[in-house]
Each structure stands twice: as C-alpha cells, then as structure tokens.
Amino acid sequence: MQNKGILAAVVLSVLAALLVVVGATGPAAAADAVATRRIGPGTQIVTAHRSCTANFLFRDARHRVYLGYAASCATRSRVAGPGTCTARPLPRGTRVRLVDHGHTLGYGTLRYSSLRAEQRLGITDPATCAANDFALVRLRGEARRRTSASMPYWGGPTGLGALPPAGATVFGLTRVAGSTRTVPRAGQVTECTGTQATVNTPLPSTPAARGGGFLDDTGRAVGVLTASEHSGDNLVVSLADVVAFARAHGVAGLHVVRGHDAFSGSAIL
C-alpha cells in the first residue's frame, strides 16, 4: 500500500509539471502572472493556518474589492467539507494571508461568510448549507493595487453564468499542495441540480484547492469548488446563487469582475 501511495504521488507531480509547461501558452500566461505576483483567481488564501484557493475577484456597490473562496475554509474547526451548518465561522475582520508559490503577497480581512449569514437566519438544513459555501476577503491598500481579475491560463471571466448541464466542459485550477503554484485543468459536468454540480477532473483536487472557481465554455464564472473525492469527482456550487445570497445578506451590489485577458479553452485541451 505504501508503494502505491508513493507511485500515485509521483504520477500526480509529473502531471502537474506537464500541465504547467503546456498551460503556460494559454491566454493568461503563468510566467507573467507569477512575475508580477498578482492577487486574484488562484491565489492561495491562508486562514487560521488552513490553505484554500481564491475563485474570482469581486466588487460591491461601494466599489470595495474582494477575493472569493469557500466559507468552510474560514471556521474554527477543521470541517471535512461543506454542509456543516453548526460549524463555528471565524469572526468578521479575521486577518488572512495571501500567498503565491510560497511567497506572501499581502493580507486581507474576512468580510463575509455564508455560514455566518445562514446561522443568523436560523438555517440548519445541511443540504442548504452545502449549496451555499462562500466567503469574501476584503482587499485594501497594496493588496488591492496588485489585483488582477483574469483567470490564469484560461483568461476570463467574461461575466457570471449558471452552472452548465451534464456533459458540459468546465475550466478551473488546482494545486498539488498548499504551497505550490496553481495549474490548469478541465473537467466534465456529470450531474447538475442547478444549485450544485458534480464535476469529474482527470487531476484530482487537493484540500488546498477548495474555494477555487470554474468557468464554462464561454468563459463565464459559474462555480465554486467546495469538496472533492480521490476519484476525481468534485462538488461545485453555483456561483450565481451564492453571490445572489451574499447580495441579499450584507454585500449589496456584489458582482464578479471581468478579466482583462480573453477566454480560451485551449490551454491544455
């Protein structure tokens, strides 16, 4: 069993290295993104020593700037995944560290947690909590000045869209370990209920990839990765739905910021 585990780790590392090389020719080249130490989609977010991944850049009605990720990444307990309505969310204002490839890029503060909002409303249904796993980190000062809304490798987002149906291809990022650079990956939607979808990816997700975003085949931001299995199946929640909930519960006018790089689904396909 130990030999199989070592072999799996080696294969995963080789695949990640190949994806970096191939993906660097995509519309939003990885080399440029790393050289400028941008803050945006794919940035590592460390909250209370837990590493997750940013999905997209957002603004609200007052033009404040945020990075989105998963609310299950910002709790006092190490929950296995979304759907734990009773988990204790970290308080608003909690400091978070923004990292790229092991380098600290700056800091932000936790501004919004869907889990906290649900608890205020008295929501206790695990399925409801699982379908609404979203948090926002506010960026100010130097961190705000270093932002880039474009999704590395793929470009976009071109706007906000609904989760696509089963059979559709979606495009996202993953990281092999918490401190490594993000790499591109595509996946296929195998099931979709509208508020949640299962996406199968050849390169499985690691815990550090939780919170990352997915684009549809037109480059629209459609989902947030909230849980995964070793089989390559990933639970993705509807970004449109979690953004609408956030707008109605404390972040008026919240919207995804469009990327300055044109979307292309050819980075690794």
> Comparing 179 with 161, which gets the higher pLDDT?
161
Q: CA nearest 194: which of 118, 119, 131, 266? A: 131
Domain boundaries, the chain: 41-145
Order of strands across the sheet with 103-113? 50-53, 44-47, 95-100, 103-113, 135-139, 65-69, 57-59, 255-256
> Comparing 113 with 3, which gets the higher pLDDT?
113
Distances (CA, A) of 199 to 84, 96, 213: 21, 28, 12
Alpha carbon dihedral 198, 201, 203, 209, in 10-degree steps, equals -40
Q: Indicate if the pLDDT at residue 94 is higher than 80.
A: yes
- Binning pLDDT at 50, 70 and 90, where does residue 23 land? very low
Exposed/middle/buried for residue 81 (C-beta within 10 Å: 0-12, 13-18, 19+): middle
Q: What is the pLDDT of residue 86?
A: 87
pLDDT winner (highest mean) among 4-8, 111-115, 264-268: 111-115
Name the least confident of 19-33, 157-171, 200-214, 217-231: 19-33
Q: What is the pLDDT of residue 85?
A: 87
- Binning pLDDT at 50, 70 and 90, where does residue 18 land? very low
- Binning pLDDT at 50, 70 and 90, where does residue 71 land? very high
What CATH number does domain 41-145 carry, 2.40.30, 1.10.1200, 3.30.70, 1.10.287?
Answer: 2.40.30
Q: Indicate if the pLDDT at residue 105 is higher than 50.
A: yes
User: Which residue shows structure tokens 């690794």?
Assistant: 268
Q: What is the pLDDT of residue 83?
A: 58
Provide the percentage of residues in the chain whose pLDDT is more than 90. Answer: 71
